[in-house]
């Protein structure tokens, strides 16, 4: 029997000597991978590439034995992600898996990894799996930063405390008055034909995830964009019938730039829904609806800002009479191409 302690040190050595981390995933898992890219590069200073597994497997990717390839999947059975891992291992790369289902194919195929342990995801459209993935990947980023010396112990303790506080902060988002506001917002926008979601930094993937949730369960066309890309095309769509959801926490380093995006949308008669932090009233005169979430460390912000977007999608879908847990044409585990 192999020595588990020795195996761990060998694994840690391979991860620490990696010059690049490639994260491959599909759908919601790809969005959590994009959040992880910000976390890992910020805390551990290791370059990260995020790849759609479906594209990665078909474009003859350049993979080195020193690379670490991470697979993210709720089910652990996603066909494209499985094949991406097989390709990575053929090139001698270390394969890590972050999955929810214990004993799944990706868990068996990868060299090591972590389970999310968030319990069965009942609905087809992942919600708690997204939060679980971001949390586990945040822990991975912290541990990697500590291990390679790029993150101080004091900073790591601060970030771990921020993670520990997340459940309490989410409970604040779920307070009755917030739920009422989101449901009333849903009543106002349930007949919209299109939505646009904007965010920057680690909240840009959250904007993409918010758009995905809305289109998955309410059947409304929705697109997510980096807020800075507004001028590069999407601004042509803005009119009074186009609701625009903008994630604009004031503690974000790009807050002033996101605020400018809000002003640009309003100047073109767009209807704005803002997600910002408690105590921020600077955007009240611009937005038709302001949803305030607890102020948190920017590191854990995606875990908080995703919640009102999930609820907005839920309430709109419910009002439209959509089968929320089993949307048409979707499968829980995409096991075929």
Contact 245, 273 (CB under 8 A): yes
Task: Tell how far CA 61 is from the center of its chain.
Answer: 24
Q: Minimal CA–CA distance to 273: which of 167, 176, 201, 187?
A: 187
Per-residue pLDDT reduced to its tens digit, 47-101:
999 999 999 988 889 999 999 999 999 999 989 999 999 999 999 999 999 999 9
Sequence length of the chain is: 337
Task: Tell how far CA 49 is from the center of its chain.
Answer: 15
Q: What residue has token string 């803005």?
A: 238
DSSP-H helix ranges across 112-254: 128-147, 153-164, 166-173, 176-189, 203-218
What separation in angstroms does the CA of 196 have from each of 52, 140, 247, 248?
Answer: 22, 32, 11, 14
Q: Which residues pair with 292 in a beta bridge?
A: 276
Same fold, 4-163 and 167-319: yes
Per-residue pLDDT reduced to its tens digit, 93-107:
999 999 999 999 999
Q: Minimal CA–CA distance to 91: which of 126, 60, 116?
A: 60
Cα–Cα distance, 69 to 65 (Å, whole number) = 10
CATH architecture of 4-163: 3-Layer(aba) Sandwich (3.40)
Tokens for 242? 């186009």
> pTM higher than 0.85 for the full model?
yes
Cα–Cα distance, 214 to 244 (Å, whole number) = 13
Q: Which residues pair with 225 in a beta bridge?
A: 198
Tokens for 198? 């904007």
Which pLDDT band holds residue 156 (cuts at 50, 70, 90)?
Answer: very high
Give Dmax (Cα) for the chain.
68
Which pLDDT band holds residue 136 (cuts at 50, 70, 90)?
Answer: very high
Cα–Cα distance, 143 to 137 (Å, whole number) = 10
Task: Share the mean pLDDT of the chain.
Answer: 91
Cα–Cα distance, 116 to 129 (Å, whole number) = 8
Check pLDDT > 70 for residue 117.
yes
Per-residue pLDDT reduced to its tens digit, 236-264:
888 888 899 999 998 778 888 899 888 89
Task: Give the domain ranges of the chain.
Answer: 4-163, 167-319
Tokens for 268? 């073109």
Contact 90, 67 (CB under 8 A): no
Q: What residue has token string 């449901």?
A: 183
- H-run or E-run covering 303: helix 301-319
Per-residue pLDDT reduced to its tens digit, 195-231:
999 999 999 999 999 999 999 999 999 999 999 898 8
Q: Look up residue 66 and give its DSSP letter.
A: T
Contact 19, 148 (CB under 8 A): no
**Radius of gyration for the chain, computed over Cα atoms and rounded to the nearest angstrom:** 20
Where is average pLDDT lowest: 22-26, 181-185, 331-335?
331-335
Q: Minimal CA–CA distance to 28: which of 271, 334, 287, 294?
A: 334
> Vertex 28, ends 300 and 215: CA angle to 5°?
115
Give residues with Cβ within 8 angstroms of 157, minimum separation 6. Answer: none
Report the DSSP pairing between strands 68-73 and 48-52. unpaired
Check pLDDT > 70 for residue 8.
no
CATH of the domain spanning 167-319: 3.40.50.10490
What was the pLDDT predicted at 12?
87
Q: What residue has token string 């270390």?
A: 94
């Amino acid at each position: 029997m192999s020595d588990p302690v020795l195996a761990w040190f060998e694994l840690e050595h391979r991860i620490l000597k990696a010059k690049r981390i490639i994260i491959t995933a599909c759908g919601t898992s790809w969005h959590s991978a994009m959040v992880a890219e910000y976390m890992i590069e910020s805390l551990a200073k290791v370059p990260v590439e995020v790849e759609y597994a479906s594209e990665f497997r078909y474009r003859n990717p350049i993979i080195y034995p020193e690379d670490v390839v991470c697979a993210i999947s709720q089910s652990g059975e996603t066909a494209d992600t499985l094949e991406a891992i097989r390709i990575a291992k053929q090139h001698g790369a270390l394969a890590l898996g972050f999955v929810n289902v214990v004993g799944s194919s990706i868990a068996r195929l990868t060299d090591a990894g972590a389970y999310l342990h968030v319990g069965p995801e009942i609905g087809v459209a992942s919600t708690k799996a997204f939060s679980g993935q971001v949390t586990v990947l945040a822990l991975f980023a912290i541990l990697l930063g500590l291990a390679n010396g790029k993150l101080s112990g004091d900073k790591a303790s601060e970030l771990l405390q921020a993670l520990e506080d997340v459940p309490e902060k989410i409970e604040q988002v779920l307070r009755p008055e917030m739920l009422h506001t989101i449901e009333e917002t849903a009543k106002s926008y349930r007949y919209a034909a299109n939505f646009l979601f904007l965010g920057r930094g680690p909240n840009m993937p959250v904007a993409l995830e918010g758009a995905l949730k809305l289109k998955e369960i309410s059947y409304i066309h929705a697109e997510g964009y980096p807020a800075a890309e507004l001028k590069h095309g999407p601004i042509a769509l803005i009119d009074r019938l186009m609701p625009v959801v903008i994630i604009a926490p004031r503690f974000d380093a790009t807050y002033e730039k996101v605020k400018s995006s809000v002003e640009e949308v309003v100047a073109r008669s767009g209807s704005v829904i803002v997600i910002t932090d408690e105590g921020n009233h600077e955007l009240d005169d611009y937005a038709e609806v302001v949803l305030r979430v607890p102020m948190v460390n920017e590191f854990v912000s995606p875990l908080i800002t995703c919640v009102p977007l999930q609820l907005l999608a839920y309430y709109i879908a419910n009002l439209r009479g959509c089968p929320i847990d089993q949307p048409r044409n979707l499968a829980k585990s995409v096991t075929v191409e």
